[in-house]
Chains A and B, each alone.
Chain A
Amino acid sequence: ELKVEQNPLFLSMQEGKNYTIYCNYSTTSDRLYWYRQDPGKSLESLFVLLSNGAVKQEGRLMASLDTKARLSTLHITAAVHDLSATYFCAVPEYGNKLVFGAGTILRVKS
């Protein structure tokens, strides 16, 4: 059974600082997805990583995938308050459904 683990589960950051969220998964997969969720809202797709070594960047967020290590990172550069949200990684199981991590709650303090 596929397990997806994120850490940290809660992250309180000062504005302007950098930090990284980690996502480990237990079985082989060549793709991984990152989503953002604001309180009371649904999930917004952030990044789709489709191969080993894939790197994608959008604004202050950069995601990467190492399929050999079964690890993805979401790096936050110079955090701003608007980035406060919960971030989920998800990995496909049997090519069909996505299995999600527990999420990382990010709070950016000014």
Chain B
Amino acid sequence: DTGVSQDPRHKITKRGQNVTFRCDPISEHNRLYWYRQTLGQGPEFLTYFQNEAQLEKSRLLSDRFSAERPKGSFSTLEIQRTEQGDSAMYLCAGRGSGNYDGELFFGEGSRLTVL
């Protein structure tokens, strides 16, 4: 158990609806990452935060996607006007400030199905 929890674990929605995923890392994780993984592929980087600051966003993160980490603790990833191509597993990972080896600790993921 990495201590990183994600909610919901599964979400089925209709095209055009908005969805929001939440990630709760452990308190030691000052860095928080979001990745997306589609079937048969490796995880693809979306964005990351150091404390509450969003320091990098991938070009994969279109303007329909927004992520926040308001108090440097939990984070949310919102997808507006979902499309079928958004169907994927959304993974959150934490990294501690004292973790100089750069290892990421992943949560169980939130699986999105867009109908």
Contact = CB atoms under 8 A, between A and B. Distances in A.
Nearest to B99: A48
The interface size bin for chain B is: 20 to 34
Given A41-B108, A43-B106, A92-B102, A100 B42 contact: yes
B48 A96 contact: yes
Contacts of A43: 43, 91, 93, 106
B25 interface: no
Nearest to B55: A96
A101 B42 CA distance: 6
From DSSP, what is the main secondary structure of chain A's interface residues? strand
Given A45-B103, A96-B55, A97-B56, A102 B41 contact: yes
A35 B48 CA distance: 19
The interface size bin for chain A is: 20 to 34
B42 A97 contact: no
Interface of B: 33, 40-45, 48, 55-56, 91, 93, 101-109
